[in-house]
Structure 1
Amino acid sequence: MLALQTDLTHDTAGEVLAQAIDRIDAGETHVDCAGLTRFDSSALAVLLALRRHAGRRGLTLAFTNLPTGLASLALVYGVDHLLSS
């Protein structure tokens, strides 16, 4: 399981994305978002990029424990269905 940690903002998005891609390339298909306490729209961009990356490799990611605020942000942007398991 890939457990995302506390911050996923513009400042950390590149590093988080690179590390998560490495984990997906190693076969990880479960992303746990429970640890996220500080995030912005960059978090959505990272999660969607991970989904696309996994899809290109024939994998389906499962996102769990999306914080309420992040789920609401996804709904506002109309991408909530892309993060549903």
Structure 2
Amino acid sequence: MYKLAGELSQQNARTALAAGNAAISQGQSDFDLSGLERIDSAAVAVMIEWQRQALEKKQTLQFHALPASLISLIRLYGLSEQFITPSSERH
């Protein structure tokens, strides 16, 4: 499982995107977002790009333990069906 921590925002979006793409290339399909403390709208854009990368490799990504602030952004952008499942929400 690929685990993210700290921040996923405009400040580090390119670095996070590259690291996630590398994880996908290595066969990772489960992304644990429980360690994220700070996010902004760039996090949603990065997640979309990760999904595109995974689809090109015929993989399906699963996002786990999404922070409430990220869930709010995903819902705001109308992407709930794409990213939110019962197992994706942080408990």
TM-score band by shorter chain is over 0.9
CA contact (8 A) 2:30 2:61 kept: yes
Q: CA deviation at 1:52?
A: 1.0
Q: Are 1:34 and 1:65, in contact at CA under 8 Å, matched by a contact in 2?
A: yes
Match of 2:88 in 1: none
Quote the offset at 1:49 in angstroms: 0.7
Matched with 2:15 is 15
User: Where is the helix percentage greater, Structure 1 or Structure 2?
Assistant: 1
1:56 to partner: Cα distance: 1.0
Task: Report how many aligned residue pairs link the two structures.
Answer: 85
Q: Taking structure 1 as the reference length, what is the TM-score of the superposition?
A: 0.96
TM-score norm. by structure 2 comes to: 0.90
Helix, strand or coil at the partner of 2:59: coil
* Identity across matched positions, percent: 34
C-alpha root-mean-square deviation of aligned residues, in Å?
Answer: 0.8
Q: Structure 1, unaligned stretches of length 5 or more?
A: none
CA distance in 1 between partners of 2:80 and 2:43 (Å)? 13
2:10 partner letter: H
Q: Say whether 1:38 aligns with 2:35.
A: no
Greater strand fraction, Structure 1 or Structure 2: 2
**Runs of 4+ residues deviating >2 angstroms:** none
